[in-house]
Amino acid sequence: MSAHKEKTVAELAAHVGGSVAGDSSIVISGVASIERASEDEIAFVEDAKMLENALGSRAACLIVPEDFFPESEGKCLIRVARPKLAFALIAEILHPPKRLPASIHPTANIAASAQVGEDVYIGAHVSIGERANVGDGTQLYHGACVGDDVTIGRDCIIHPNVVLYDGISLGDRVILHAGVVIGADGFGYVPDENNVRHKFPQIGTVIIEDEVEIGAATCIDRGALGETRIGRAAKIDNLVQIAHNVQIGARVVIASQTGISGSTVIEDDAIIGGQVGMGDHARVQSGAIIGSKAGILPGKIVRAGVWWGIPVQPLEDYKRLNAHMNRLPQLREEVKELRRRIAELEERFKDEHGDSK
């Protein structure tokens, strides 16, 4: 949820570096899709095929590619190089995140040794442990649990029922959605001679760098002896599991239901689709894009490019193999027909020449 603001078209165009065609004094109060936009909202269009429909919409203004010069029939336009990006940047200022005024709810439990910065909101039943440090401007919503020796940077948003285990560290402007768990023990056991499994020490930490956003119910385990690290501006979806000692680089994007095994390294700017499974000690190099439901074997190095499949392989190889797989039913029938013909030829040969044995 967010609080609405109003800006003129001229102000919005200046914010995104666009040029205006039409009345730049129009006041815009929100963003919307082309289909749902009202007379005080802005929408965007990237595809020329959709432009005619967009020009007939109720939207007060449209964001269009800079090489679009349609007959707008009075419709106000903002021309930019990348309309979808401009739309997102405009949404950030028209729909800023909700911020509650600085206060501490009477039901919050804050350790005497904890340090709470200025302009901090602490909601109902929030718990803050010994020697924890909460940075200026941070918002902790109801039910959040902050362990001992936790550091939270400036202007973070910690949504309801987030759990931050002891000793973990968040940078500035980090957003954790409801039910996120940071710093739980990693899944590591050592069997003895009777196959009884003994817990390997899970005494490391988790470091979340600046401007990371983590979706609801995602779990990030602490390092076994070292650290699990999430790089600056990484964006992680809901229901993702990140195991101990994983290293995730800057600006990495990870979609929902992905599972990343221990000591895996994902380098800067990689993109990971939904439901991807990664074995331990794998490495995804910068520039790699991994499609949904791919499987990465332990120790595998995935280089730059687009990858898909189980086990993961370059997209062109996957498409080629998939085409062959789709032909298997036809191939099966062809093989059956060949066997039938061979059997007929063998019978005919026997009839004409007798059994050669």
Can you tell me which residue has the tokens 């768990």?
181
The catalytic residue among 95, 125, 177, 244 is 244
Catalytic annotation on 15? no
DSSP character at residue 2? B
Instruction: Tell me the Cα Rg of the chain.
Output: 29
Crossing angle between the packed helical segments 315-326 and 328-353, to the nearest 10 degrees: 50
Distance CA 209, CA 142 (A): 23
Distance CA 319, CA 313 (A): 10
Cα–Cα distances in Å, from 80 out to 18, 52, 120, 153, 241? 5, 18, 38, 35, 38
Pairing, β 271-272 against β 253-254: parallel
Encode 297-313: b = buried (16+ Cβ within 10 Å), e = exposed. eeebebeeeebbbeebb
Closest CA to 91 of 42, 135, 126: 42
Compute how many other C-beta atoms are within 10 angstroms of the C-beta atom of residue 179: 18
Sign of CA dihedral 212, 217, 222, 228: negative
**Catalytic residue set:** 244
